[in-house]
Structure 1
């Protein structure tokens, strides 16, 4: 009995020691959890909360209350999907997040979340799986940060960047026709008869281009401000398309394109503004013509589909990158921001198309297989119920007989500009050759050995920068004077011009006197 009593006493003492140790461990755990909670609650910029294995909230820090608007009492035991948008709930995104976190240990995402008051905020989210001693997932820790303010700043910065690019391109597009007009006017002072008629044709073409640029700008502005009122009437889309196509014939013929027009035998009556509808068709055809290399193919087809008049304009042109397709109708967005923009354009034509079509209760879409795969634009309009069918130009005189006759090479993909500038130099008494792209510029320089090359920057294939570097790297051609003659005139453009090895940077349009000074200052070449 005494032995048994002793054993019980020892066991009792051991049990008391174990209970004391267990109590001590529980106190350590409680203090640790308290420190963790204080730490989590002290984080003000991140919503940190725990989820059980089914996604229900188990704990909720102060920042979570601030960001989401719910108190801990309101959220404890509630499923975390409450914070998600209807769009995310429809695709079971909350469950997807937990599945990934459970499988991979971690999930990261950015997206819209919903506050208690219904407002949305842009959030950065991290979900980490929590494991027990047997490496089983027992819950999740979720950290959310409100990035709405940062996203707003980034959007403003992107908008400013696009605006700056647009303004630079606008200046370039306006300077090109102005430069051709200045050259033609200078030549008209010294020419007569048939030659004057040719230069007047140049001025007329470039003036129409300027008017088109300005009209598009004004129309986008008016539509944005709701200042355009449509003058609707019942008209046949077939007639509008056929008439507009004929007005584009000179541009089409100049590019040697083959055009196929498919019109249905029946009328397609729509309630539309004839002028604005023609503007839509004109922009789509012009877009196809400009962005299709010479001798391409353009198909224009009209049909009746499900109570709508459907216009399709398809080309075999340069195509549209997949990343750009969702933005192709956005204002100030150009497909190609590189220097090789031989077709010009401000990136507002398609914006104008979309807004005019939508004003007619229609829709427009774009499709492309990617770069080099051509493009297709589709306009859908509801069928009608009833049937029926410039700045002041310089006047300075330029020298007629220069002290030294120079050999000059003019390089520009705008043929009107290149030809008129070349003719202008000839009237000054110089020997001139003209090239229209970078490849021809290099070969012409090697063959002709000019005293100076007046070189456009935005050339097709090889840019003016590329040509300048090639010429500077050649021992035989390195001493030729290079003049960057371009519509790009910002500080960054001038820096790049210097780095490429140009001697001068002239912004279009330049007057005859300025050009004469550059030529007169050319050093003698061996």
Structure 2
């Protein structure tokens, strides 16, 4: 210290200051620097610097500013500067520098005092703040502005979608106004917003404000609003135009900046507080702590150290450590040898050694002859320059833990001896979960070298699909201390994976801490495979039982449906015995429902007989067109009731097959009814008949609800059904398709189904072997005549479009040329266009004239002079038949007409055609 500062209070402050304090002459040359400053600047020897210019220690870019500060000090003024200057050893540092004059006796400056405070951390914090501000700027620059326009006369506003987004809307909003905007403003901000708006209206100047708005979901957001006045040609402010942008993110960043600054201040205050609390913490810590200066003198010890050693001496140097009695313990190369003074960890730390943990047996000062084991750690304390200024040592009495570990090692030796003799695989792991022991049976099972499973490597022997689950359960057990149990596949020495059952239990000390894990692995592969096989069988039985229960429930439902109206009709018969109309209606109900019951029972008996092979087929050579026609006629009421459009398409000619006519009709009826039931009203059903590869193929296609991919493989199984409507309007017992498959199989054919999934429709295809024979003459009728046998030209007239089209399709399949008309006028036009016409099938109840009148007019037409007329009507009483004969009809059929009957009539007409033509 210089003579100017020595021996005075100023001199004491000079040395006590934590900052870098320098004394300069009026020319700016260094006279002195305090010890803390030399440490901060990493100056080992100040002597060479004494007398040099202070500015020479600074980078070139700061020297002009420093010279200006020195000039200010010479003039009696203080100056301040923040600048960068590395230490003497090149460490980067930022300094807050203050220069002030030191007055002499006469008050004029006689020297200059410079105080430099290390503000590197503060500078770094500010740089981080500037970076945060830069990020904020980027966010604001990339923000999208919402636009608004307020009519000052009406108070109504027009807004953009981005404006509305700032108020929580996902779609544009109409009818905005100033009041609407204020309703969104946070209650605490409304006064500020109203004042700013009123002031803007008064001054008619641009204005801006930031406020909070509350969205409909209750969340609070910040917005920035800017407005400018728009003036008319006369200069009157008529509208207020502006922008709005959400600035919630910016506000959050600003809050983070404030919090960062406060955190830095709090951190500095906390550091100071921590220093003040150091002594208290040392006294309270349960670990013995001792601090020694560079000479080895013990300057600080705490209560825990005295608990270990008793009332101990305060050694003045390393040499006096010999008073402390300690011996090297078991496991040390110097076991039993007493520690010399220089062996103590504190002495070694003062030599620069880090002692991470060392066991020593000691004799406490208050227990002569007694022994205990302590764990010691020690580290050197260094100054900023890296020089050792002292050392800290920590000590802990681990006598009890050492004893338990020794007992545990003895127990483990016994444990390993036993485990080598047991037939199971045995393993052990440390408390951290790392395996460190496997018995001989483990290595014989896995075939890996000894030690290859230690640590976490045992999991590499697990099946890849089991690793994740086993690791998770093992970690849960290790953390919770609960028993570990898991079944997984372990790789056998053969390369196969075998199932094992692993169990592990924790080994605890008296205080409950887990110190080890012991466990076993048992080969359960055979048992597991047996259980899996039993489980699959049980699942199949459960599925069969479920389907049986569903079938019984459906059967009960289907049987109750007709029983309910039968019961009601029976009641009516008793109550209204004198009412013929009611009796007749009730009898018809009972008849229909008994017919339905009979159908259900027949279906059940059918599927039973067919599936058990008890059905005898009455086979003959059949024309498929007749089979399709009969099936269509049976299914037509259901198809018509649901408003479906039915199309029948066939190739040239009609294929013949060898089979049972009734059963094959039953197959097609089932498929048509199935399509009708599972197609929503107004759908489309198509029947395609074709031949390919020596088979006749009938395909029924619909655009209904389709079939789920999961159901496709089982659709032909007994009692299998698709999804039903809530009112169960589709009905059925789930046996139809099973019956179809069985019947087709009896004919040597096959059936398949295809669907692209729900709501994509379905397609059922029946393939039967083609027959090279012609249909049996004894069973052949006009229904089987093909186009090669002089087909007829037929006009079908019915205002029911579906009925006319379907009957025309049936006739075409039989080889005839059929045309459908839906009114009398259309029929007359068709007769003229198609002349000559061989047959007319007329509905009686037509919209523009009756069928009787139409028949009379057609008979007078040259195109129909040789035609046959067939009445098709819903009326079948005797007088109805008299009327049809009087109108010139050759035949009278009652709806729904039997397709076979129609085809037979057409066949008879073909056979009689020459005679009629000759006549």
* TM-score, with length taken from structure 1: 0.49
Structure of greater relative contact order (alpha carbons < 8 Å, 6+ residues apart): 1
Structure with larger Rg: 2
